[in-house]
Structures are given as structure tokens and as C-alpha cells.
Amino acid sequence: MKYLLIANYINIASIACLSPIYALFVAQFTPSPYMVSLTWGFALIIQGLMTFLFGSLLNGYSHRRHVLVLGYFVMAGSAFLYMGVQSLVGLMVVMLVNACATAFHMPVFKAYVTTHEHKGDEAHEWSLFDGGNYLLAGIGALIGGNILLFTSF
């Protein structure tokens, strides 16, 4: 469990670290601030819909560890794909891959955590997951903002 939380925290912190820079990244392809919300909203809607789908398809799947590892690898791979984005369409494709990888992994991650919780300590264990996510998202956003401030990205 400890290693899953650490992997999750690293993922959350890195996403949050890049969030302040995201608007500037999108601005390379279009001057419209609307496109920032459109691309971000697109990714989150796809992620939500795919989470419903994968949650149903993977319910009861016996090889949860394989799904977790594959999900993390695809998320990491899609992060590297951002470096090759040359257009708004390319950005949407990369965000689609990342959204699907997250949706593939998250229902199984939560099912795995649920089956390995200590009876009577569930609230504390989920507080480590959610509280850690919020804490590291905040820290990551601050780091990303400072990178933006000090490098004139």
C-alpha cells in the first residue's frame, strides 16, 4: 500500500506542477483563452466517461496489479508525448491517451486499496490518499508557479 500511495503522490504532484504552465502551453497553438478550458474540459469529460466504462469492464478482474502497473506506464508515457505536441489536435490526442490511462487505472487502484485496508482504519487510510493528493497538488502548483515566475516560461 505504501508504494501505491507514493506512486500516486508523485503522479498528482507532477500534474499539479505543470498545471500553471498549461495555459501558456496551449497559447502556443491558439491565442484564445477559451481553448485552455476547452482542452482541459475535454480531457476531464473523457476521463470521467472512460472511468465509468473501465470501472464496469474491470470489475472483478483478478490481475489488478497488472492493470495498475500498465496504467502507470501509459500515464508516464503520455507525459513524454507532450514534448512532441505540435498542434492543438496533437494536444487533444495526447490528453485523450492520458485521460484513458488514468481512467483505466483509477477504478482498479481504488478497488485494490479497498481490499487491502485495515478493518476499522478505513477513514484514516482514505484520508492519507485524499489528504496527500490535496497537499501534493498544492505543493506541485506552487512549484509550477515558481518555475513560471523565475524562468519567464
- Asked if pLDDT for residue 45 goes beyond 80, the answer is yes
- The proportion of the chain whose per-residue pLDDT surpasses 90, expressed as a percent, equals 12
In this prediction, residues 54-65 reach a mean pLDDT of 85
CA terminus-to-terminus distance, the chain: 37
Looking at residue 127, its pLDDT comes to 83
Distances (CA, A) of 38 to 46, 89, 101, 109: 12, 12, 20, 28
Give the pLDDT band (50/70/90) at residue 153. low
DSSP state of 117: P
Distances (CA, A) of 46 to 51, 60, 72, 153: 8, 23, 18, 29
Q: CA 151 to CA 24: how far, in whole Å?
A: 13
pLDDT, tens only, 79-125: 889 889 999 899 999 989 988 988 888 888 888 878 877 788 778 87
| Residue in 75, 58, 98, 94 with CA at minimum distance from that of residue 8 | 75
